[in-house]
Amino acid sequence: MRHRAFLVGVSFLGPFLAAAQTLPFRLGDPISLVPPATTGDATVVVFAAAMTPNGTPLRATNLFVFSLSTNLPLRQLTNYTGAQTWTGVTSVTCGSGVAAYAVAPNGPGSGEEVHFIDTNNGTDRTLATDKEGCIQPLCVGCARACVGPVHLTGDGGKVLYAVARQQPFFVVNADGSGLKQLPVYQGALAPSPKRVIGGGAIVFTSAAPSGAPPPTAAAATDLWLINLDGSGLKQVTKFGNPMFWAGNATISADGSSIAFESNYSSSGPVLATQIWLVKADGTGLRQLSGPGAASGPSISAMAAQ
């Protein structure tokens, strides 16, 4: 049987919006909402928001779980407090009965953590603590989180996360053992609700996966794959022109197909970002959107044939 992938360019808030009418706050309230994640069967939404359980806005962001298939109430899973911007949960992904999240317990910078939590009973485990921090923007009130996004393998056995500096990618077992830094010099992962792990490989975008290019030899930002154990670094797209870039790459569960955003075209860079699909071996590159701008691709578990 041949399956076709379904791709969409909609907001992460889709599942959340469907349930918003039953949640204890209104869209438009001044809360900080982290993009929500859903389970594979789309029955459970896990998200983070700066609010109390009754919907009162706060500065600290906490984790919540909500079932779309039952009448169970919204449940708060964490209890971070503080007044500094970016205190609390900064990204989240989920699987069946579990979730992984990044958190800045005392605000962004040194001491940010990666957690694994049972969404049924609230059992929470700290998998890693980042003590290096990252370079923050030189402006008032625009600090950013250093750790995240986070991603889960399909079986929930491993957590992949990024940090905002060189050599950014780490993999750790869900029990906190086996922390490993991957041999990637520079790269970016798609946001946590998207799938970036498929067929045992991680998809990311980079202009310098093995080291910074010479000043006279700028590189395009291409798609790359690397195995979870750090082996098998492989270039997928080969744009060549340093004015081309790829971003927001997401992969099918079997690792055969990748959807991504890019300004690529055969005639040169375009102003309106488009959605592209390519096979993991670099063949079959084709544009899926246009002529208007499109962004935020997602790809189903079934691979395009």
Residue 214 is given by DSSP the state: P
Share the mean pLDDT of the chain. 85
Cα-atom radius of gyration of the chain, to the nearest Å? 19
Range among 8-12, 277-281, 298-302 with highest mean pLDDT value: 277-281
Long-range contacts of 203-210 (CB under 8 A, 24+ apart): 203/236, 203/249, 203/250, 203/251, 203/258, 204/169, 204/249, 205/245, 205/246, 205/247, 205/249, 205/260, 207/242, 207/245, 209/184, 209/185, 209/233, 209/235, 210/183, 210/184, 210/185
Comparing 1-10, 117-126, 215-224, 229-238, the range with the smallest average pLDDT is: 1-10
Give the pLDDT confidence score for residue 251 in this predicted structure: 96
Least confident of 63-67, 81-85, 124-128: 81-85
Q: What confidence score (pLDDT) does residue 94 get?
A: 94
Res. 120: pLDDT tops 70: yes
pTM value is 0.87
Under the banding of pLDDT at 50, 70 and 90, the label for residue 117 is very high
Task: Report, as an integer, the average pLDDT of 204-222.
Answer: 81
For the cut 90, the answer to whether the pLDDT of residue 199 exceeds it is yes
Residue 121 — very low, low, confident or very high, per pLDDT cuts 50/70/90? very high
Nearest-angstrom CA–CA distance, 231 and 183: 8
Give the mean model confidence (pLDDT) for residues 296-300: 85
DSSP 12-71: TTHHHHHHGGGSSS-TTSS--EEEEEE-TTS-EEEEEEEE-TT--EEEEEEEEEEESSS-
* Model pLDDT for residues 87-100, shown as the tens digit of each residue: 899 999 999 999 99
Q: Looking at residues 276-284, what average pLDDT do you find?
A: 97
Q: Give me the percent of the chain exceeding a pLDDT of 90.
A: 61
With 50 as the cut, is the pLDDT of residue 158 above it?
Answer: yes
| Residue 13 scores a pLDDT above 90 | no
pLDDT of 32 over the 80 cut: no
pLDDT exceeds cutoff 80 at 55: no
Angle at 189 between CA 146 and CA 140, to 5 degrees: 30
